[in-house]
Amino acid sequence: MKKMSNIGVLGAGTWGMALARMLYNSGHKVCVWSALSKEVEEFSATRRHPNLPGMVIPDGITFTGEIAEVCKGRDILLFAVPSPFVRSTARLAAPYVENDQIIVDVAKGIEADTLMTMTQIIAQEMNNPTVKLVALSGPTHAEEVAKDLPTTIVSACEDVETAELVQNVFWGTCMRVYTNADVLGVELCGAVKNVIALACGIATGLGYGDNARAALITRGVAEISRLGMAMGCEPGTFGGLAGMGDLIVTATSQHSRNNRCGILIGQGVPVKEAIAQVGMVVEGINALPATMRLAQKYQVEMPIVEAAYQVVHGEILPGAVVQQLMGRDKKPELPQDALNNRYE
């Protein structure tokens, strides 16, 4: 029989609420914090989330607007706020986080100014070496988890015991969890795949089809893996759930905010208006500046990322950038050193 955990969820967006419901239905005690008092009151009263139609929030899930209440006495703290708010939320929570606390982050992004991943930001704000940090990432749309549809995800932590503990807790009504020690690789994939998905959406909005989407996905993985390898990540991560798996679902699904935003941009909708029409945070837009800086820092060629950046910042029209990508110099698909390694 699974041991019940006491879990505090920071963030009442779609992903935080879908996970809160799944964790509660798996036998855990769950309290959800929101910085917006209106959300606390509305969710407590209606037991519904406006962006998760059909999902009923179990009566046993409690809500609070007090950061101390959601932090104190919890076995696990789940950070489920959008990436731009991870630092400010961690700063608010830090005074109430106890020694040896396990913190699980599900936000996906890289901070533009510092080039830090989300767990790195949390670690810096907590300033407590006993805190254990886990990145939970993979091909996971909240809309499907809210319906208990089969889903897989990766619990990433250098400490195997902590990764396995989180694996056991989140192994729920619809969730199969794998472990991975490559935290940086998992987080890098989670952030940069949103940029590639944005590019796929732009191509779709321009009227291009499955061939173009498949090319962008596979060459996008090549770009992410080149950057990751330069940063010291494990090669296998990029072909796994947090890499290829998450990119496929984000670049192809109707649920993907990045895909939808890209489609609108490809159709000629101004970027700010496209974001407004999506109505939620578009993480691919947020991740673009940091990804470009990382590519420059590590001297890694990332033409799809660069093309998306140029379009989003109005440096080139979407139609023109496709021709730019198609007209790049000829090259082999695999670097020569990769081919040589096959025979060693």
Report the b/e string of 201-217 with b at 16+ CB within 10 A.
bbbbbbebeeebbebbb
Q: Of 193, 272, 297, 331, which one is the catalytic site residue?
A: 193
3-state secondary structure at position 133: strand
212: its two tokens? 């173009």
102 vs 118: CA distance, rounded Å: 15
Q: How many CB atoms lie within 10 A of CB 285?
A: 23
Residues 6 or more apart whose CB falls under 8 angstroms from that of 8 comprise 31, 32, 33, 70, 71, 74, 76, 77, 78
Is 193 part of the annotated catalytic residue set? yes
Q: Is the Cβ–Cβ distance between 23 and 7 less than 8 Å? A: yes
Question: How far apart (Å, rounded) are the C-alpha atoms in residues 158 and 179?
Answer: 10
Run of H or E including 249: helix 246-252
CA distance 310 to 317: 8
Label the pairing between strands 62-64 and 175-180: unpaired
CB 209 within 8 Å of CB 266:
no
Question: Catalytic amino acids?
Answer: 193
